[in-house]
């Protein structure tokens, strides 16, 4: 046993020394931050005053919650909502400390001595992040404690489980905001620019809190665990992104941020091109009218497969998401079964399809209308995926598949053949539309995931441009033709097949 323990002792001692250096930097940063009373005093006063304001709102709205939901409405809706807001507000106010983590030191001319220390990039980043996280977290917990003290005087005592939920949510939100702020601070050249870019953190988090508020008001605090899981995933992504982007040499060398549109356009065109190829034949010896075959063959047999290989992990993630969508559809089908007789497939007529064009919230049931709707959805997925590390792109594709799975299970319980339902309603056009959507979504996921894990040997900007050009090439060469054919089939073939099988 002693022989087994001895090899671990140097490793443990080295780890303790490594952490001691990180915590030494953390203590130094906290001490420097606490010395500036112009930052600490407003945060402290607002942290104490805001819970009192929330208590005033609580007293004024408790009767409304009691009349609608009873005592449970106050315990599972009103109090979680107020505690959530009380914990979030001090965190957002104290975000200014995290924004100055690196760029503030650079403006004060104290960054170079810090970077000259023997600390590794990982130690520097973790030490700075821990120091920037502590004050927002303490401010959020202090605000919750003050609000709880005020509630105790009115004999309101939230459950221990609710308090654990709120504290964990506050910590997760603080880590999301601080991690994002530290990334901004390490990539900007001035505090002014960092403060302007902070809106990309505060606004999404404020929208998230508003969404949490709506969910709590509708279903209570049980859903807070799901929100916490989402925030933990976001924390992991942001911390990983910060570690990948942090580079001490770039911090010292970057003096001004310049947006060179010309260089970006040239880099985009360089990635957008591909090599002509025609099964090894010498294209220069071929007749000029036939040389375009080398362009098409090079695109479809070399460039598109290469782009898909670069996106193989994203493709796997999308397929896992689609499997999850089927499970979600099954879960909803079990919990929300349609009343008997409400699903009458035998009564479908030609007017059922012609009436789709008159429905305001549906696209026109024409080839162009269906195509425009599908293209618009996939472009929106690419945009949302860019700002969500690819997660929202997968969610947008999961939604319709979950609905299809839900209807498939409902048809089975209604006495119909679910396989025949899918083969009739979905597969005629879905055999082209679904693969096209999977490919486009995977490329959109890669577009967002590049910020977290850029390709080896590339910067984040270069990796993102490569992902964007891959998306552009594959979308125009593969996805758009498949969507066009699928839209035509959906309008002209699928309705005729449905009427043949189910027409009343």
What pLDDT score does 1 carry? 47
* Total count of residues recorded for the chain: 504
Largest CA distance in the chain: 91
Residue 276: how many CA atoms within 13 Å on its side-chain side? Answer: 11
Alpha-carbon distance of 324 to 391, in angstroms, equals 13
Alpha-carbon distance of 86 to 166, in angstroms, equals 10
What pLDDT score does 68 carry? 64
Q: In this structure, are residues 314 and 470 in contact, taking their beta carbons and an 8 Å threshold?
A: no
| Token pair listed for 18 | 């490594």
| Token pair listed for 95 | 């975000």
Alpha-carbon distance of 195 to 100, in angstroms, equals 9
| Token pair listed for 175 | 């880590």
Alpha-carbon distance of 49 to 54, in angstroms, equals 9
Q: Which long-range contacts (CB under 8 A, 24 or more apart) does 268-273 make?
A: 268/465, 268/468, 268/469, 271/465, 271/466, 271/468, 271/469, 271/470, 272/469, 272/472, 272/473
What pLDDT score does 260 carry? 63
Give which of 284, 97, 270 is closest to 198, Cα–Cα: 97
Q: Which long-range contacts (CB under 8 A, 24 or more apart) does 271-275 make?
A: 271/465, 271/466, 271/468, 271/469, 271/470, 272/469, 272/472, 272/473, 274/298, 274/299, 274/302, 274/303, 274/473, 275/302, 275/303
The CA R_g of the chain, rounded to the nearest whole Å, is 28
What pLDDT score does 319 carry? 94
| Token pair listed for 102 | 């690196």
Give which of 483, 482, 498 is closest to 356, Cα–Cα: 498
Angle of helix 427-449 relative to helix 312-335, nearest 10 degrees? 120
For residue range 450-496, what is the model confidence (pLDDT) as tens digits?
877 777 777 777 888 889 999 999 999 999 999 999 999 998 898 88
Alpha-carbon distance of 35 to 29, in angstroms, equals 10
| Token pair listed for 385 | 């995926």
Q: Is 459 helix (H, G, I), strand (E, B) or coil?
A: coil
Scan for tokens 């693969």, then name that residue: 435
Q: In this structure, are residues 432 and 489 in contact, taking their beta carbons and an 8 Å threshold?
A: yes
**Residue 400: burial class (beta carbons within 10 Å; 0-12, 13-18, 19+):** middle
Q: What is the pLDDT along the chain (504 residues), one digit of tens a residue?
A: 455 555 566 778 888 888 888 888 888 888 877 777 777 777 788 788 878 877 777 777 766 666 666 655 566 667 777 788 888 888 877 677 788 788 777 777 777 777 778 888 888 888 888 888 888 888 888 888 888 888 777 767 777 887 888 888 888 888 888 888 888 888 777 778 788 877 778 888 887 888 877 777 776 667 778 888 888 888 888 888 888 777 777 666 655 555 567 777 787 788 787 777 777 676 676 776 666 677 788 888 888 999 999 999 999 999 999 999 999 999 888 888 888 777 777 777 676 666 565 555 567 778 898 999 999 999 999 998 887 778 888 989 999 999 999 998 988 888 888 888 888 888 999 999 999 999 999 999 998 888 777 777 777 778 888 899 999 999 999 999 999 999 999 988 988 888 888 765
- Whole-model pTM: value is 0.72
CA distances from 171 to 46, 89, 134, 144, 183 (A): 19, 13, 10, 12, 18
CA distances from 267 to 379, 391, 473 (A): 22, 27, 15
Q: Is 456 helix (H, G, I), strand (E, B) or coil?
A: coil
**Residue 160: burial class (beta carbons within 10 Å; 0-12, 13-18, 19+):** exposed
| Token pair listed for 5 | 């323990």
Give which of 108, 237, 87 is closest to 169, Cα–Cα: 87
Query: Domain ranges in the chain?
Result: 2-251, 311-502
423-440 per-residue burial string, b: 16 or more CB within 10 A, e: under 16: ebbbbbbbebbbebbbbb
Alpha-carbon distance of 351 to 353, in angstroms, equals 5
Indicate left, alpha or beta for 390 from its phi (over 0: left) and psi (-120 to 50: alpha).
Answer: left
What pLDDT score does 76 carry? 61
How remote is the C-alpha of 126 from its chain's centroid? Answer: 23
Three-state SS annotation for 193-249 = HHHHHCHHHHHHHHHHHHHHHHHHHHHCHHHHHHHHHHHHHHHHHHHHHHHHHCCHH
Scan for tokens 């539309």, then name that residue: 433
């Amino acid at each position: 046993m002693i022989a087994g323990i001895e090899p671990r002792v140097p490793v443990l001692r080295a780890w303790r020394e490594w952490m001691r250096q990180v915590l030494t930097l953390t203590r130094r940063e906290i001490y420097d931050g606490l010395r500036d009373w112009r930052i600490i005093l407003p945060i402290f006063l607002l942290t104490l005053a805001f819970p009192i304001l929330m208590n005033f709102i609580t007293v004024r709205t408790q009767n409304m919650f009691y009349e609608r939901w009873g005592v449970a409405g106050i315990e599972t809706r009103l109090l979680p909502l107020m505690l959530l807001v009380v914990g979030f507000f001090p965190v957002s106010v104290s975000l200014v400390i995290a924004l100055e983590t690196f760029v503030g030191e650079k403006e004060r001319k104290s960054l170079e001595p810090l970077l000259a220390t023997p600390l590794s990039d990982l130690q520097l980043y973790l030490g700075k992040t821990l120091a920037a996280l502590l004050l927002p977290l303490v401010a959020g917990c202090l605000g919750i404690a003050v609000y709880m003290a005020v509630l105790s005087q009115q004999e309101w005592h939230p459950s221990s489980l609710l308090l654990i939920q709120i504290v964990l949510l506050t910590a997760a939100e603080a880590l999301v905001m601080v991690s994002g702020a530290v990334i901004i601070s390490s990539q900007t050249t001035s505090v002014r620019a960092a403060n302007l870019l902070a809106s990309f953190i505060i606004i999404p988090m404020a929208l998230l809190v508003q969404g949490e508020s709506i969910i709590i008001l509708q279903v209570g605090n049980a859903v807070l665990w799901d929100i916490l899981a989402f925030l933990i995933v976001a924390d992991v992504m942001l911390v990983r992104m910060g570690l990948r982007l942090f580079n001490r040499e770039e911090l010292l060398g970057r003096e001004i941020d310049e947006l060179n549109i010309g260089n970006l356009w040239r880099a985009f065109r360089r990635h957008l091109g591909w090599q002509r190829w025609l099964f090894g034949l010498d294209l220069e010896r071929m007749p000029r009218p036939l040389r375009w075959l080398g362009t098409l063959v090079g695109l479809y047999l070399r460039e598109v497969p290469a782009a898909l290989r670069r996106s193989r992990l994203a493709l796997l993630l999308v397929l896992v998401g689609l499997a999850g969508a089927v499970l979600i559809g099954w879960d909803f089908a079990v919990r929300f079964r349609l009343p008997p007789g409400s699903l009458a497939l035998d009564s479908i007529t030609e007017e059922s399809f012609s009436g789709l064009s008159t429905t305001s919230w549906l696209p026109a049931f024409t080839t162009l209308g269906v195509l425009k709707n599908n293209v618009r959805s996939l472009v929106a997925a690419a945009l949302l995926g860019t700002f969500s590390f690819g997660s929202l792109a997968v969610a947008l594709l999961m939604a319709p598949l979950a609905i299809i799975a839900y209807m498939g299970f409902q048809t089975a319980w209604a006495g119909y053949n679910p396989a025949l339902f899918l083969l009739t309603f979905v597969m005629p056009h879905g055999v082209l539309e679904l693969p096209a959507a999977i490919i486009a979504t995977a490329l959109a996921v890669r577009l967002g995931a590049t910020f977290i894990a850029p390709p080896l040997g590339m910067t984040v900007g270069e990796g993102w441009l490569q992902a964007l050009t891959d998306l552009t090439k594959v979308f125009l060469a593969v996805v758009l033709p498949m969507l066009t054919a699928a839209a035509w089939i959906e309008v002209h073939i699928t309705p005729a097949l449905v009427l043949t099988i189910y027409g009343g």
